[in-house]
């Protein structure tokens, strides 16, 4: 084995070890990017909640998913308006 062949084998070994050690980072990075992109796409979605009292539907409420207030706070404010 010549010195050039040894360098080539060593270079391939370092390349594959680096690639294998880089895979978990790449997986987490792609996961984070996809989460960000789908979050940007779904900002216009809304949930419709039907409020029933004594098994009688009283009100349909539209809850925004892109609101700054949490969903529970939005529901509490709707229930306070109802009372």
Q: What percent of the chain lies above the pLDDT cut of 90?
A: 36
Q: What is the pLDDT of residues 19-57, one digit of tens each?
A: 999 999 999 999 999 988 887 776 677 888 887 878 877
Rounded average pLDDT over 1-21: 93
Name beta bridge partners: 63: 47
3-state helix, strand, coil in the chain (%, to 5): 65, 20, 15
pLDDT for 81 equals 67
pLDDT for 46 equals 81
Residue 7: alpha-carbon gap to chain centroid: 44
Q: What are the distances in angstroms from CA 83 to CA 7, 37, 58? A: 79, 40, 12
H or E segment and range at residue 5: helix 3-41
Rounded average pLDDT over 60-67: 79
Return phi, psi of residue 68, to 5°.
-75, -25
Q: What percent of the chain lies above the pLDDT cut of 70?
A: 93
């Amino acid at each position: 084995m010549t010195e050039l062949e040894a360098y080539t084998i060593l270079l391939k070994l370092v390349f594959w070890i680096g690639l294998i050690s880089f895979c978990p980072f790449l997986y987490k990075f792609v996961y984070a990017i996809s989460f960000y992109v789908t979050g940007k796409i779904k900002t216009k979605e809304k949930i419709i909640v039907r409020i029933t009292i004594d098994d009688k539907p009283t009100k349909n409420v539209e809850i925004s998913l892109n609101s700054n207030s949490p969903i529970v706070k939005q529901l509490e404010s709707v229930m306070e308006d109802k009372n």
